Amino acid sequence: MTARIFNFSAGPAVLPVEVLEEARENLLSLGSTGIGIMEHSHRGKAYDAVHMECEALCRELAGIPENYKILFIQGGASLQFGMIPMNLLSAGKTADFLMTGAWSEKAASEAKLYGNVHHAASSKDQNYSYIPQTASYSDSPAYVHFTSNNTIFGTEWKGEPAGYPGNMLICDASSDIYSRPIDVSKYALIYAGAQKNLGPSGVTLVIVRDDVVEMGPKNIPAMLQYRTYAADHSLYNTPPTFGIYIMGLVFKWIKKNGGLAGMAQHNEAKAGKLYDWLDQSKLFKATAARDSRSLMNVTFVTGDAKLDDEFIALSKKAGLDGLKGHRSVGGMRASIYNAFPPAGIDKLLEVMADFEKAHTK
Active site residues: 103, 172, 196
Q: How far is the CB of 231 from a copy of itself (least distance, A)?
A: 14
Closer residue to a copy of itself in complex, CB, 161/240: 240
Residue 85 or 132 with smaller CB distance to a copy of itself: 85
Question: H or E segment at 99?
Answer: strand 94-99
> Do 54 and 252 meet the contact criterion of CB atoms below 8 Å apart?
no
What does the H/E/C string look like for 187-246?
Answer: CCEEEEECCCCCCCCCCEEEEEEHHHHCCCCCCCCHHHCHHHHHCCCCCCCCCCHHHHHH
Using CB under 8 A, list all residues that contact a copy of itself: 1-5, 7, 9-15, 17, 20-21, 23-24, 27-29, 31-36, 38-42, 44, 74-79, 81-83, 86, 110, 113, 193, 195, 199-203, 219-224, 236-243, 246, 319, 321-322
Task: Measure the N-to-C terminal CA separation of the chain; round to a whole number of Å.
Answer: 42
Closer CB to a copy of itself, 27 or 269, in the complex: 27
Contact 202, 243 (CB under 8 A): yes
CB of 20 to a copy of itself, least distance (A): 5
Using DSSP's 3-state secondary structure scheme, residue 333 falls into strand
Least distance in angstroms from the C-beta of 130 to a copy of itself: 26
Helix, strand, coil percentages, rounded to 5, for the chain: 40, 15, 45
Give the span between the Cα atoms of 147 and 132, in whole angstroms.
12
* C-beta of 327 vs 361, nearer to a copy of itself: 327
| Closest distance to a copy of itself from the beta carbon of 163 (Å) | 30
